[in-house]
Each structure stands twice: as C-alpha cells, then as structure tokens.
Amino acid sequence: MRLSKARREFVTAMMKDTICDAADSVLKKHGFSGITMDRVATTAGLAKGSLYNYFQDKDDLLQFIYARLVEPFMQAIEEIAAGDLPAPKKLENILRVTLERSDKHKGVIRLLMETNQDQEVRKAIRPRILRIYSDIFQRGILEGSFRPHNVAHTARMFLGCVTELFELQASDASDEEVEGYVGVLIDATLHGFSIHVQESLETPLNQ
C-alpha cells in the first residue's frame, strides 16, 4: 500500500529523529572521533543502506543534528527576549542559556566545526539572532538601562561574543576557562569596562 505524501513526510521525520538520537548516543559513547555511519545505523537498528535513504553522508547527518539543536535554542532566547526582565538581565540570561546548551552539546558542536557544517546553519539564523539582540538593546535604551547608540552594531558585537563561546566549547578550553569567559562577558554587559573617576581627581593626559 502506497503512503500518502503527508504520511511519508511524517514517517521520514520520525526516522530522522530516531537516527539523530542514535547519533547522539554514539557520540556520547565513542566521542567525536568515533562517530561513524555504521555505528549510527547499528544503534538505530537499521541496515547501513537504509541510513542513506535519509542522509547522504555523515556531514549531512551532522548538519541535521545541529539544526535540530539550534531551533530549541532559538526558541529559548526568543522567550527570554519577549519577557518582562530589564534588558541587561535578558542578555545575562541569554548568555547563561547559551553556556548551558553549548556545554550539553559541545561534542556535536566540535564535530560540526571540524567539518565546517555549521556555516550554512549560522547564515540561516544570523538575521534572526541579530534582530533579537537589536530589539533587546533598543528596549534597554528606552528603559534607561543603556545609553543611546547604534543597536545594529552592538547586536553584531554581542553575537560575536556569543560565537566565541561556541568556539571555546569546541576547543580544548577547560570548563573553568569557559565559565570565566562567560563571567567576564556578563560583567561587561551589566557594568561595562570604564572606571568613572571623580572630576576633581582627574589629571589631564598632557600633564
């Protein structure tokens, strides 16, 4: 019996999810150097040939896994952005969520960065992320949390800092180094870098 188009799409989506779960299990058991299509197929209870009905190769599988991880992350930061917290607190919470999720899935992130499969996904979500950050910075200006500035530029800067967090997670950086980086970034987001000295104590640079 031939399946309807909707039924075929549903079955395909279910199979891809099953395969992704199997790939995640293989990754946790064997590490980023031990993930193979044979192991994924065995863990999923499929013949290796059947696996290629859903994914062309390992890179295709990894890109799908990454996309599946990205959407829940995007929904989480959109929920934070839509909340009632002050703008600086929203940015802090986004950083904490990013740290939590990148730590949980750093094996997948590292694999993707090694094969450059995350570039297309990054391109696809970049406008969406920049819009979220720009809206938060604009809200911060309106509420008096941030001084007036070009929010498009600060959104790009913040995205660059968050991207560096993923880079650290994918590298050999220790958990302490990554957490320290996030701590500095949170402090800079909330308080900036400048030390404001009383005018009476200031000394002109030419003296």
pLDDT tens-digit series, residues 79-111: 999 999 999 999 999 999 988 888 877 766 776
pLDDT in tens, 124-168: 789 999 999 999 999 999 999 999 999 999 999 999 999 888 888
Looking at the chain, the whole-number percentage of residues with pLDDT higher than 90 is 36
Q: What is the DSSP letter of 195?
A: -
In this structure, which topology does domain 65-191 adopt according to CATH?
Tetracycline Repressor; domain 2 (1.10.357)
Distance of CA 129 to the CA centre of its chain: 10
In this structure, which topology does domain 1-55 adopt according to CATH?
Arc Repressor Mutant, subunit A (1.10.10)
Query: Residues spanned by CATH 1.10.10.60 within the chain?
Result: 1-55
Query: Residues spanned by CATH 1.10.357.10 within the chain?
Result: 65-191
- Please check whether residue 87 is in contact with residue 189, taking contact to mean a CB–CB distance below 8 angstroms: no
d(CA 22, CA 112): 17
pTM of the predicted protein model: 0.72
d(CA 207, CA 202): 11
Looking at the chain, the whole-number percentage of residues with pLDDT higher than 70 is 84
- Looking at residue 166, its amino acid is F
Task: Give the count of beta carbons closer than 10 Å to the beta carbon of residue 165.
Answer: 19
d(CA 35, CA 25): 10
- Please check whether residue 72 is in contact with residue 139, taking contact to mean a CB–CB distance below 8 angstroms: no
**199 pLDDT exceeds 60?**
no
Q: pLDDT value at position 21?
A: 85
The pLDDT mean for the chain works out to 83
d(CA 71, CA 69): 6
155 vs 3: which has the higher pLDDT:
155
Q: pLDDT value at position 160?
A: 93
In the Cβ-directed half-sphere of 203, how many Cα atoms lie within 13 Å?
Answer: 3
Q: pLDDT value at position 207?
A: 45
58 vs 155: which has the higher pLDDT:
155
